[in-house]
């Protein structure tokens, strides 16, 4: 049942391909969080498997617990029931093998320049030497097109550039799973489109494993090769779909529109009844 992510780029069809194995699996995960007055169940009995080099999207309306699920994979939240495993090892707390790109622009420490921001986790978590960390940071900054801004401070950058730095930082760490929590939601529509393109281009270069949270059906279809649909209050699995056939060029085409309509129906038909 592994989706074939290679199918997205047809020019690579003749290249040697090999199937990846299961990398991340969530088993019957139930998550709860506390507000001052009550205990809220964010997800109930959610299971899914992410394979290596997947672009796995968690999609659902607000309140479906998709961000909470991502935070649980990152290790910030402990499941009440069920387990999350990476490569057969249970997730216990945050770690540098899963790097998160958050939606908020303040995820970059403002006291570090762009280059220092990317190099810092390499030094503290990967124990790289100064020169080596710098070199790798510059390499990934170049990949996101920000090599020119290496010595700028984050407050001088635009929102899209800050997100690029966060992405470069995450990629430079070469995590086993890259976690993205609505990273483009706070960007304007044009920038968001460009960032989606860039993310796909980076993926085709690097073949990282991506777990991506969004509430936009179009974004899910474009970014993902596989989509987990969640229904709200509490979050439960509604469907798991393939979307490897779509790129940004597919937007507006009939088939793409049908998929959007299908997901819309899956997510909202109960409410309509």
Partner 1 sequence: MSTPHLIVPPVRPEYEVTPAALAGVEHEAPLPLAKRLADRAWLRKSIIAIVLIAIWEIAARAVDNDLLLPTFSATFVAFVQGIASGELIAKVGISMSVLLRGYALGAALAFVLTSLAVSTRIGRDILSMLTAMFNPLPSIALLPLALLWFGLGTGSLLFVLVHSVLWPLALNTYSGFQAVPSTLRMTGRNYGLTGMRHVMLILVPAAMPSILAGLRVGWAFAWRTLIAAELVFGASSGKGGLGWYIFQNRNELYTDRVFAGLAAVIVIGLAVEHLVFDTVERVTVRRWGVQQ
Instruction: Give me the residues that bind partner 1 (CB under 8 A), please.
Output: 74, 76, 94-96, 98-100, 102, 104, 106-107, 109-111, 120-121, 124-125, 153-156
Phi, psi of 78 (to 5 degrees): -90, 130
Q: How far apart are CA 263 and CA 257, in angstroms?
A: 10
Nearer to partner 1, 88 or 110 (CB): 110
| Least CB distance to partner 1 at residue 121 (A) | 4
Full DSSP string of 2-65? ---GGGG-GGGTTS------EEEEEEEEEEEEE-SS-EEEEEEEEEEEEETT-EEEEE--TTS-
C-beta of 98: minimal distance to partner 1 in Å? 8
79/154 with CB nearer partner 1? 154
Beta bridge partners of 43: 31, 235
Please identify, using beta-carbon distances, which residue of 8 and 118 lies nearer to partner 1: 118
Query: Parallel, antiparallel, or unpaired: how do β-strands 236-242 and 226-231 relate?
Result: antiparallel
Select 7 or 125, whichever has its Cβ closest to partner 1: 125
Shortest Å, Cβ 135 to partner 1: 19
Measured CA to CA, the distance from residue 60 to residue 51 in angstroms comes to 21
Residue 134 DSSP SS3: helix
Write the CB contacts of 63 (distance below 8 Å, at least 6 apart in sequence): 232, 233, 235
Q: Is-contact 91 171, C-beta < 8 A? A: no
CB of residue 102 to partner 1, shortest distance in Å:
5
Q: Which lies closer to partner 1 via its Cβ, residue 33 or residue 120?
A: 120
The distance of closest approach from Cβ of residue 124 to partner 1 in the complex, given in angstroms and rounded to an integer, is 6
Complex with partner 1: residue 15 or 155, whichever CB lies closer = 155
Q: How far is the CB of 202 from partner 1 (least distance, A)?
A: 19
Residue with smaller CB distance to partner 1, 84 or 267: 84
Q: Report the alpha-carbon distance of residue 170 to residue 118 in Å, rounded.
A: 8
Cα–Cα distance measured from residue 261 to residue 255, given in angstroms and rounded to the nearest whole number = 10
Give min distance, CB of 72 to partner 1, in A: 13
Q: What is the C-alpha separation between 221 and 257, in angstroms, rounded?
A: 10
Q: How far is the CB of 64 from partner 1 (least distance, A)?
A: 21
Which residue, 101 or 144, has its beta carbon nearer to partner 1? 101
Q: Report which of 205, 193, 199, 185 is spatially closest to residue 251, judged by C-alpha positions.
A: 193
**CA–CA separation, 96 and 227 (whole Å):** 25
């Amino acid at each position: 049942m592994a989706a074939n992510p290679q199918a997205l780029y047809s020019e690579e069809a003749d290249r040697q391909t090999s199937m990846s194995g299961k990398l991340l699996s969530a088993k019957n995960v139930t998550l709860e969080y506390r507000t001052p007055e009550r205990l809220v169940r964010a997800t109930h009995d959610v299971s899914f498997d992410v394979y290596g080099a997947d672009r796995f999207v968690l999609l659902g309306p607000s309140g479906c617990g998709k961000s909470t699920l991502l935070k649980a994979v990152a290790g910030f939240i402990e499941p009440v029931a069920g387990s999350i495993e990476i490569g057969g090892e249970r997730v216990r707390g945050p770690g540098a093998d899963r790097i998160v790109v958050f939606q908020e622009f303040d995820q970059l420490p403002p006291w570090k320049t762009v280059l220092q921001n990317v190099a810092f986790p390499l030094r503290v978590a990967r124990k790289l030497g100064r020169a080596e960390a710098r070199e790798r940071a510059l390499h990934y900054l170049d990949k996101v097109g920000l090599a020119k801004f290496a010595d700028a401070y984050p407050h001088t950058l635009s929102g899209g550039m800050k997100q690029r730095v966060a992405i470069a930082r995450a990629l430079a760490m070469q995590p086993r799973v890259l976690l993205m929590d609505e990273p483009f939601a706070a960007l304007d529509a044009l920038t968001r489109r460009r960032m989606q393109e860039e993310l796909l281009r980076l993926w085709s270069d690097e073949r990282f494993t991506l777990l991506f949270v969004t509430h936009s059906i179009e974004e899910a279809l474009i970014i993902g090769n596989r989509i987990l649909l969640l229904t709200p209050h509490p979050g439960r699995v509604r469907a798991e779909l393939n979307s490897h056939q779509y790129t940004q060029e597919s937007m507006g085409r009939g088939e793409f529109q049908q998929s959007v309509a299908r997901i819309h129906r899956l997510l909202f038909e109960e409410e309509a009844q």
